[in-house]
Chains A and B, each alone.
Chain A
Amino acid sequence: MASPSDLAVSEMDFDTVPERSWVDKIKDTARKKPLGAVSACAVLVMILLAAFANVITFYDPVQNAFDSMHVAPSVTHWFGTDQFGRDIFTRIVFGARTALFVGFSASILGSTAGLILGVGSAYFGGRFDLIFQRFMDIFISFPLIIMALSVVSIFGTGTQNVIFAITIPLIPRCARVVRSSALSIREIPYVDAARALGFAHVRIISRHMIPNVMAPYLIMLTSFLGQAILLEASLSYLGLGVQEPTAAWGLMLQGGAEEYAESAPWIPVFPGLAITAAVFAFNLFGDAVRDTLDPRLRSE
Chain B
Amino acid sequence: MSALLEIEDLRTHFFTTAGVVKAVNGISYDVQKGETVAIVGESGCGKSVSALSVLGLIPNPPGRIVGGAIRFLGDDLIKLDDLQIRNIRGRQIGMIFQEPMTSLNPVLTIGLQLTETMEHHLGMDRADAEKKAVEYLRLVGISEPERRIRQYPHHLSGGMRQRVMIAMALCCEPKLIIADEPTTALDVTIQAQILELMKNLTKRMGVALIIITHNLGVVARYADRVNVMYAGKIIERGLAADIYREPRHPYTLGLLSSVPRLDQPRQKRLDPIDGQPPDLTRLGAGCSFLPRCKFAVDKCASEIPPLETVGNGHLSACWEKENLEMVKG
B105 touches A194 (CB 8 A): yes
B102 touches A198 (CB 8 A): no
Of the listed stretches B89-97, B200-208, B231-239, B284-292, chain A binds B89-97
Measured between alpha carbons, how far is A199 from B57 in the docked complex, in Å? 12
- Knowing that A189-B98, A199-B90, A211-B105 are A-B contacts, what are 5 other residue pairs whose CB atoms are under 8 Å apart, sorted by A's residue number? A189-B103, A190-B103, A196-B57, A196-B94, A208-B105
Determine the chain B residues whose CB is within 8 A of the CB of A203 once the complex forms: 120
Measured between alpha carbons, how far is A122 from B108 in the docked complex, in Å? 21
Does A207 count as interface, using CB distance less than 8 angstroms? yes
B108 touches A207 (CB 8 A): yes
Determine the chain B residues whose CB is within 8 A of the CB of A188 once the complex forms: 102
Give the nearest-CB partner of B60 in chain A. A126
Can you report 30 A-B residue pairs in the complex whose CB atoms are below 8 A from each other? Answer: A188-B102, A190-B103, A190-B105, A192-B57, A192-B97, A193-B95, A193-B97, A193-B104, A194-B105, A195-B57, A195-B89, A196-B55, A196-B89, A196-B90, A196-B95, A196-B97, A197-B89, A197-B90, A197-B94, A197-B95, A197-B117, A197-B120, A197-B168, A198-B89, A198-B120, A199-B90, A203-B120, A208-B105, A211-B107, A211-B108
Flag A203-220 by CB within 8 Å of B: 1 or 0 each: 100011001101000000
Interface size class of B (residues with CB under 8 A): 20 to 34
Determine the chain B residues whose CB is within 8 A of the CB of A198 once the complex forms: 86-91, 120-121
Give the nearest-CB partner of B178 in chain A. A196
Q: How many A-B residue pairs have CB under 8 A?
A: 61
Does A23 count as interface, using CB distance less than 8 angstroms? no
A189 touching B107 in the complex, CB below 8 Å, given contacts A126-B61, A198-B88, A198-B90: no
Measured between alpha carbons, how far is A189 from B48 in the docked complex, in Å? 14
Flag A172-205 by CB within 8 Å of B: 1 or 0 each: 0000000000000000111011111111100100
B91 touches A212 (CB 8 A): no
Top 4 nearest A-B pairs (CB, nearest first) are: A198-B89, A197-B90, A198-B90, A196-B95
Determine the chain B residues whose CB is within 8 A of the CB of A200 once the complex forms: 86
A181 to chain B, nearest CB (A): 13
Give chain A's interface secondary structure class: helix
Determine the chain B residues whose CB is within 8 A of the CB of A207 once the complex forms: 108, 116
Determine the chain B residues whose CB is within 8 A of the CB of A197 once the complex forms: 89-90, 94-95, 117, 120, 168
Determine the chain A residues whose CB is within 8 A of the CB of B165 once the complex forms: 193
What is B's interface to A at a CB cutoff of 8 Å?
55, 57, 61, 86-91, 94-95, 97-99, 102-108, 116-117, 120-121, 165, 168
A199 touches B103 (CB 8 A): no
Determine the chain B residues whose CB is within 8 A of the CB of A199 once the complex forms: 86, 90, 116, 120
Measured between alpha carbons, how far is A214 from B103 in the docked complex, in Å? 19
B290 to chain A, nearest CB (A): 35
Determine the chain A residues whose CB is within 8 A of the CB of B103 once the complex forms: 189-190, 193
Interface size class of A (residues with CB under 8 A): 10 to 19
Give the nearest-CB partner of B168 in chain A. A197
A189 touches B105 (CB 8 A): no
Measured between alpha carbons, how far is A200 from B81 in the docked complex, in Å? 12
Determine the chain A residues whose CB is within 8 A of the CB of B107 once the complex forms: 211-212, 214
Measured between alpha carbons, how far is A212 from B102 in the docked complex, in Å? 13
Determine the chain A residues whose CB is within 8 A of the CB of B105 once the complex forms: 190, 194, 208, 211-212
Measured between alpha carbons, how far is A208 from B116 in the docked complex, in Å? 11
B55 touches A189 (CB 8 A): no
A59 to chain B, nearest CB (A): 49
Determine the chain A residues whose CB is within 8 A of the CB of B89 once the complex forms: 195-198
Determine the chain B residues whose CB is within 8 A of the CB of A189 once the complex forms: 97-99, 102-103
Measured between alpha carbons, how far is A214 from B107 in the docked complex, in Å? 10
Determine the chain A residues whose CB is within 8 A of the CB of B117 once the complex forms: 197
A239 to chain B, nearest CB (A): 46
A190 to chain B, nearest CB (A): 5
Measured between alpha carbons, how far is A189 from B117 in the docked complex, in Å? 17
Measured between alpha carbons, how far is A62 from B103 in the docked complex, in Å? 59
Measured between alpha carbons, how far is A211 from B86 in the docked complex, in Å? 22
